[in-house]
Chain A
Amino acid sequence: MRRLIANQELLLIGLMAVLLLAVSLKFPDFFGQQTLFNVLTASMVGMLFAVGVMLVVVSGGIDVSFLAVGILSAYATVKWASPDAGALSVFAISTAIGLGLGLINAAVVIIARTSVLIATLATSSIYLGAMFAFVGGEVISILPQSLQTLGSTHLITAKGAVRGTTSLNVLILVVIAVCILVWAFLRFTVAGRSVFAVGGDAEAASRAAISVPRIRMLVFAIAGAVAGLAGIISITLSGRADPTTFMGRELDTLAAVVLGGVAIAGGKGTVRGAVLGVLLISLVTASLVPLGIPTIWQRAAVGALLIGGILLQTTISRRQRIRPILDAPAPEVTNA
């Protein structure tokens, strides 16, 4: 039973099921493809950001620069791309810029030996400032043709629950692919396992021959690249490049990651958890209106949910720490 509750991912799935059930009882139509597509579409970008942040958090640190990295990479790419640039190259460039910015983050953390939070607070302010000062601040509403096409290429289009059609963009495949890649990286590579080692105990990891700075670089590079990709996907999906899109939304993604059971102190977390956290928040948002709650409550609701999740997590992790002494075989028994 304890293990069951301890498994935050199961808990999230349970919560989502309850929510779905509650709304579906009121509106049977809610339980269907349309809700699925809406929630997935709303989650696509968030999932990528969450996966990147999850990586950094697992390695021991809290990244708040990922949105700045994402929007700067994507906005600069779109701004300077020629109108007939190919989608692939646009995506590649945005990802590459993100990777570079991630490496800058890593450099600051490693050289200044400061916490990831402080370092990324500083770099995110620099990145955002640089974007507005040197790249531009206006909304770009005409994207390169290739992106426009991509934005309206759907994987599945189905009849809407009530009327019209509902569809799922093909970019969901990219998101899924990235999630699988990161999962595979964490599970099947020595570097991936080292990320957990560093997050668990950096000192012990370095005594086990793991180069902590190198792992940090790798983590920030991947997180930056994923953020750059997320930025360009966001722009493609919305059909316009607005540099203010993500302003001040960092804490939302962190909230999703924490809900997904990623330990903020590092060393513990899964791609699955981060994805589930984002999906839960999207589902909550989608359910508020049918449940008769104004959408304005969304942020407060997520905040309350988050506090609940955190309390649960800390209570469980504190309880596990005691190791029995009395259970050891009694001296008399072994003497005989």
Chain B
Amino acid sequence: MPERFRKVLLTMGTRASFIRLLVVAVGIVVVFGILKPAVFLSGQNLQYVELASPEVAILSLAMALTMLTAGIDLSVVSIANLSGVVAALIMTNGHQSPGLAMLAAFGVALACGAVNGLLVGYKHVPPILATLATGQLFSGLALVASGGTVVKGLPEPFTRLALLTVAGIPLIFWVMLIVAVIIGVVVAKTPLGFRMRLVGANPTAADFSGIRRARVLLATYVMSGALGGVAGLIISARAGGANSDYGSSYVLLAVVIAVLAGVDPEGGYLTVAGVVIAAIAMQLLGAGLLSLSVSSHVVNICQGLLLVTMVLLNTWGTALSGLFQRRRVIA
């Protein structure tokens, strides 16, 4: 692999975990490709994955960003749903253009992120607590706004966004890639990203280095909220409607993907490329299991098992590989 390319891929990720991820992703493709080549490798399946990955990947990026600062955002799915509902209401009841609706929804998402950021950064509330509470509030507000039902009848120009393809690839997949590149640049190429990493690695040392931790955290949670907003719009465009408790399992999924990508929940490490690859890998796993026509619940089990396995490997992986190496020397 050319040095520069590898450097980009590994930006701030641990090498071992990135390789582990690639092994998992390739393993999924190979296993299902052999088991069910006709279904799994079909164009239809590929397109399903392309359409289903973006929302998951973007939510996972939000989760990964907060994990980079040793936090977590349990409210990101609620933010997605709230902004989806807001956009839907503006389009249906308010009869406004999709553009305006999307802007408003994005604004709501930023505001939600700012609330999280203020609580975590300036009020020193543990992230898990803050986002637990705000998640409750945001989804409660979405529930009230939507009246507890699915807001339907979204205008066609909006829902078409989910179907458009550019160069044979769905528009929303492009959106995901662009978002990922932006986040990747922020994390790897800006002082903010640098400081986010340090804040996550050791908040006390960050304070003692003259880093304005509160500001960094505020920016982090605003970004996370913004990503939630984008995901919410994608979700409602794809579903043709919005409601307050879409995708409650996405919180878990986002954590799984982040951990799978080697993001350290204790802070300090993030690989954007890894998160995107992991998100796609999880969709491939889902699609693969479904192609074997097992129940969708087995997918849940596999996700859980995968998470446990990855955590085990993160804890014991180096010790194990050390063991193997020593064996090889002896042998």
- A: residues with CB less than 8 A from B are 62, 108, 111-115, 117-119, 121-126, 128-133, 137, 247-248, 251-252, 254-255, 258, 264-265, 294, 296-304, 306-307, 310-311, 314-315, 318
Contact = CB atoms under 8 A, between A and B. Distances in A.
A130 B119 CA distance: 37
A310 B130 CA distance: 8
Contacts of A122: 256, 304-305, 307-308, 311
Nearest to A258: B129
Given A247-B248, A251-B136, A314 B125 contact: yes
B300 A129 contact: yes
A254 B132 contact: yes
A81 to B, nearest CB: 22
Given A111-B312, A247-B248, A314-B125, A118 B259 contact: yes
Interface of B: 72, 74, 119, 123-126, 128-130, 132-141, 143-144, 147-148, 245, 248-249, 252, 255-256, 259, 265, 294-295, 297-305, 307-308, 311-312, 314-315
B125 A248 contact: no
Contacts of B133: 255, 258, 303, 306-307, 310
Given A122-B304, A125-B252, A132-B295, A265 B126 contact: yes
Contacts of A255: 132-133, 136
Nearest to B245: A248
A300 B301 contact: no
A65 to B, nearest CB: 10
A231 B129 CA distance: 25
A130 B300 CA distance: 8
A115 B265 contact: yes
A123 B133 CA distance: 23
A83 B270 CA distance: 54
Given A129-B300, A265-B126, A296-B147, A307 B308 contact: no
A126 B301 contact: yes
A301 B140 contact: yes
B136 A302 contact: yes
A125 B304 contact: yes
A132 B297 contact: yes
Given A114-B315, A310-B129, A133 B301 contact: yes
Given A129-B298, A296-B148, A298-B140, A264 B126 contact: yes
A113 B307 CA distance: 13
Given A296-B143, A296-B144, A62 B128 contact: yes
A336 to B, nearest CB: 40
A306 B134 CA distance: 8
Closest 5 CB pairs of A and B: A300-B140, A303-B137, A129-B300, A299-B140, A303-B136
Given A112-B315, A114-B314, A122-B308, 9 more contacts: A112-B311, A112-B312, A118-B311, A124-B252, A126-B301, A133-B295, A304-B137, A306-B132, A310-B133
Nearest to A122: B307
26 contacts: A108-B308, A108-B311, A112-B312, A114-B315, A121-B252, A121-B307, A123-B304, A124-B304, A125-B303, A125-B307, A131-B297, A132-B297, A133-B300, A251-B136, A252-B136, A255-B133, A264-B128, A297-B144, A299-B139, A301-B140, A303-B134, A303-B135, A303-B139, A310-B119, A310-B129, A311-B125
Given A111-B312, A255-B132, A296-B147, A118 B307 contact: yes
B144 A311 contact: no
B326 to A, nearest CB: 22
A128 B297 contact: yes
Contacts of A264: 126, 128-129
Contacts of A300: 136-137, 140-141, 143-144
B132 A251 contact: yes
A306 B300 CA distance: 30
Contacts of B300: 125-126, 128-129, 132-133
B301 A125 contact: yes
Contacts of B129: 258, 264, 310
Contacts of A265: 126
A251 B311 contact: no
Contacts of B305: 122, 126
A202 to B, nearest CB: 15
Contacts of B134: 303, 307
Given A112-B308, A300-B140, A129 B297 contact: yes
A296 B245 CA distance: 13
A297 to B, nearest CB: 6
B138 to A, nearest CB: 7
A49 B130 CA distance: 21
A86 B299 CA distance: 36
A31 B43 CA distance: 65
Contacts of A296: 143-144, 147-148
A133 B301 CA distance: 9
A162 to B, nearest CB: 27
A95 to B, nearest CB: 23
A152 B230 CA distance: 50
B286 to A, nearest CB: 12
A106 to B, nearest CB: 13
Contact of A121 (B136, B255, B299): B255
Contacts of B144: 294, 296-297, 300
A258 B259 CA distance: 26
A314 to B, nearest CB: 5
A298 to B, nearest CB: 7
